Amino acid sequence: MDDQQTADAIPVSPPLKLFDQWFAEAQGSELNDPEAVAVATATPNGAPSVRMVLLKDYGPDGFVFYTNAQSRKGGELLANPQAAMLFHWKSLRRQIRIEGRIEEVEPTMADAYFASRSRDSQIGALASDQSRPLGSRGEFLARIAKITAQHLVGAIPRPSHWTGFRLVPDAFEFWMDRPFRLHERRRFERGADGEWASGLLYP
């Protein structure tokens, strides 16, 4: 891996700009859900948990996804507001890790996104006690039918426990596949002054 190839592959630039570039390429090459991202949380005692969610918004202020705040991940995020994300795009043979603190999005933002969802998805959010034990699939379907009958007309209000979370990055790591497992890794870390420093890591 020569120095020119490295410079061309991962230019020295702010991490969000590089994320923009890679995400745009993934949207053009990934067959299913380029916005799918693994989100890792932990309990206050440090027990880890990870699951896939869909990225719904991002920008200089962070990376946003939505969930039931009473679910396992919601409870862990509220109790220990730190998380990590991992994007993996097999079509590009690339991945991005993002680490940082968690904050809840503004209610108006959660309202706007909930209103944009399909009606069936809105009803599903009302019907699901996410992460809690379920006696049978039939029980869940019966609850959906009941809630559907209760909301035949008019807008469906957002449940107060259904909200969005924003991961505010403190660190990014960009990983690119190379032959013979001589992969390329660049890490960005935000300093106390808010400025980003970057450097390469051994693969």
Q: Which one is catalytic: 97, 101, 143, 181?
A: 181
> Helices 137-150 and 119-127 meet at what angle, rounded to 10?
120
Q: Are 102 and 186 in contact (CB under 8 A)?
A: no
Count of CB atoms within 10 A of residue 169's CB?
A: 23
DSSP 10: S
Check if 181 is active-site: yes
Any residues with CB less than 8 A from the CB of 109 and at least 6 apart, and which?
64, 164
Q: Are 10 and 178 in contact (CB under 8 A)?
A: no
DSSP 34: T
Which residue is associated with the tokens 């206050």? 44
Q: Which tokens in the block code for residue 4?
A: 């020119």
Q: Are 35 and 54 in contact (CB under 8 A)?
A: yes
Any residues with CB less than 8 A from the CB of 192 and at least 6 apart, and which?
none
Active centre residues (catalytic): 181
